Amino acid sequence: MKTPNTETTMSPDAFAAALAALGWKQSDFCRKSGVTKQTPSRWANGLTPIPAWVPAYLGAMQDLAALHSKYLATTKDTASE
């Protein structure tokens, strides 16, 4: 049997910074990821380790936001000219 990885892959500060970079509150993260509202609060306060899927999820959301900004937002702006 494999030993579970209990090592935190993201710090509470990095979690807060990633949410801020997306312009999200903890409640936005809950709604979009399907976790209970207490879960990110525990992560942000360092009470519970942040699972490995969280930085991957937030990184993917940041990548999508960057792609949207680069391609769709500029298309929208040039279409109105």
* 3-state SS, residue 63: helix
Q: Answer whether 48's CB lies under 8 Å from 39's CB.
A: yes
pLDDT band at 9 (very low <50, low <70, confident <90, very high): confident
Q: What is the mean pLDDT of the chain?
A: 86
The average pLDDT across 34-43 equals 96
Is it the case that residue 54 has pLDDT exceeding 80?
yes
pTM: predicted TM-score of the whole model, two decimal places: 0.77
Q: Tell me, what's the pLDDT at 34? A: 95
Q: Tell me, what's the pLDDT at 2? A: 45
Is it the case that residue 45 has pLDDT exceeding 80?
yes
